Structure 1
Amino acid sequence: MEGKEEDVRLGANKYSERQPLGTSAQSKVYKETAPAPLFEVCELQSWSFWRAGIAEYMATFLFLYITILTVMGVSKSNSKCSTVGIQGIAWAFGGMIFALVYCTTGISGGHINPAVTFGSFLARKMSLSRAIFYMVMQCLGAICGAGVVKGFQPSLYLTKGGGANVVNHGYTKGDGLGAEIIGTFVLVYTVFSANDAKRKARDCHVPILAPLPIGFAVFLVHLATIPITGTGINPARSLGAAIIYNKDHAWDDHWIFWVGPFIGAALAALYHQVIIRAIPFKTRN
């Protein structure tokens, strides 16, 4: 009997009691990360810096290739019932973001969007040099991705709009700008929340599932705003399609797809850092 009691005692000490996720790890030590410097010249000499930019280029290239091809597939059909329809387009955008964020988040952070990069810069999560480099590579990747789609089906691309973002008939420029601001806010706020370092320290499942809510946010925003603007919320995506399509009406409202996402990203960064995390009010050691 004494031996059995000893075994039980040793077993109880050896294996800690299991608790629900989100509670057992709350005692983990968490330290607020220091803000990134505005300029960091030394990172230009690091291979990881250039590798991250290449990853952003490739991810945005694949993103435009798959999504614009999906848009073209829906556009060429006279009956939307014979295609994936608007829901399929939304799934293509959301699904690709989910997959690409999962693939690139460990290399570049998985931005694939200048608005996300801009929000991260405002939150001091990256330097200005890295932010500019990311945006340039994202835009180049988007242009190349849309260009490959046009190369596959040039006549269809030009006659069916090329996936370019415009404010649709029945909506004003103000409607389009508002849709882009709110849609980008939803996306960037989700990105900040899914990658919150404090949540990662507390809940071990967050790093694995982070791309999932980001992809769902993109999917849901597309369902809501495709009828209004075709859904931009990504200046690189809008720029790549506009440059390759290159028709006057694609440029008339193009400013909306830069101004709207950048305002939405700035508001999301402000809300998360100041209201949710209260970073400015915390004392740093």
Structure 2
Amino acid sequence: MFTFARYSVPTAVVEDFYKRVDVILIRLFAGESAVGFYETALRIVTPAQQLSGSISNALGVKVSGLTSIGQEIRSDIVNAVIYTGLLAIPMFFGALAMPAALMQTFFGSEFAGGATALIGIALFFVFYIYQDPFATALEGSDRPQIVFRLRLFALVVHLPLALLLGNYWDGLLGVIGATLAVEVVLLAIYQAVSHRELGGIIFPKPVVAQLGSAVVMYGLIMLIKPMVPLVSWVPVIALIVFGAGAYFLSLVVMSSHFRLTLNNVLVPALGRIRTRIR
């Protein structure tokens, strides 16, 4: 408990500053309009973090309990990793398929200039949220010092890189590019730590199925997109719904794990509904 308390506050401070520093640097190098692009693009992808956050919260409680009685925790981490990116992966490919249309539809035509920023943010968000299960597991199993060191490393590397790219390349995209590079490296380090501390690298096959399903979704959207005039929210929303349907149907076909999960969740739910109706 003392070890966790010793590191929890500095970890939170470092992580909070790391999240805020992008806005500060973008404002410095590119002005308020670029900050507007960044923050609006971030709002589009943050719903994916709600799912990963709920998964990590449940994982933290379970890991803490299992660690206290000396039980293994790897299988629970694997299960968390499987569904952490369930929404983030298709959201990236959706952003890649129609970034300007998404920005214009949700925030107005003046935000179309943030299309490239949306793609970069959606991509770094994928790498960012996949770190959650590892960090949660390490903190829940009495190793918060590892998480603190990694957060501090990310901040120390990110600051000079963002200053360099933001100043000499592009104020908005340079800072986003620096964040993306750091998040990729940080996830790789978490995998190395997992190999050392958690029994091996964790990259479950269902994640590959999610990637494959998102690629199928992207291909179908790009096929249909030229036939649909994306000039109002109705066709844009319709294309989003179509893409979501294509993603989940592809996932049902590609992933036996996802089919099993659906069966375990939907069958009891339908049973309860039938009982209430009767």
Query: TM above 0.5, one fold?
Result: no
Q: TM-score if structure 1 supplies the norm length?
A: 0.32
TM-score w.r.t. structure 2 length? 0.33
Which protein is bigger by CA-based radius of gyration?
1
The higher-RCO structure (CA 8 Å, 6+ apart) is 1
